[in-house]
Copies of this chain bind each other. A is one copy, B any other.
Amino acid sequence: MARLVEYADATAEVRAVFDDIKQARGVPDVNNFWKALAPYPDLLRRTWADVRHVMASAGALDPVVKEMLYLAVSMTNGCGYCIASHGAAARKAGMTDAMHGGLLAIVGMANETNRLAFGLGVPVDPGLAP
C-alpha cells in the first residue's frame, strides 16, 4: 500500500528532511521508511527529529545497545521491516553473532515468562511495590 516518494519527486519541504537524513547518516539515499512518510510532511519532519534525537545524539547508552533495544521491541511486535532495518543497523554498530544469539534468547524468554506471569496472576513482591 506504500506510496514511496523519491527525492526527484519530493517537495522542497520533504527534500530538506531527506537531505538532513542523508547527511546525518552518511548515505546516498534515504530508506523506504522515510519515502513512505513523505506524503505526510508534518509527520515526516517530527518523526525524523525524534529519531535523530533519541538514536543519533550522544547519551547514556551505547549505540549498539540502543539498536538492540529497538530490535527487541520490533521482534516482540513482529514488525518485519523494522527487524530488517534495525537488525542491519545493530550489526553495523557492532552486534556480533554471539550478541545476536544472546538477544534472541532473552527476547524469546521474556515473551515466554511474561505470559507465565500473566497466566498465574502473580502479585508484585512486597519489596518491589511502590
Partner of A33, one of B101, B103, B111, B117: B117
Residues A1 and B68 in contact in the complex (CB < 8 Å), given A120-B37, A121-B80 = no
Contact check, B99 vs A61: say whether CB atoms are below 8 A apart: yes
Choose from B97, B109, B120, B125 the contact partner of A112 (Cβ within 8 Å).
Answer: B109
Asked if B61 and A118 make an inter-chain contact with CB atoms under 8 angstroms apart, the answer reads: no
A8 within 8 A of B: no
Contact residues in B for A105 (Cβ distance below 8 Å) = 40, 42-43, 46, 54
Which residues from 100 to 130 on chain A have a C-beta closer than 8 Å to any C-beta of chain B? 100-125, 128-130
- Total copies of the chain: 6
Tell me which residues across on chain B come within 8 A of A51, comparing CB atoms. Answer: 109, 113
A119 and B99 in contact, given A68-B69, A79-B114 (Cβ under 8 angstroms): no
The CA-CA distance from A108 to B51 in the complex, in Å, is 11
Interface residues of A in 17-32 (CB under 8 A from B): 31-32
Q: How far is the CA of A79 from the CA of B113 in the complex (A)?
A: 10
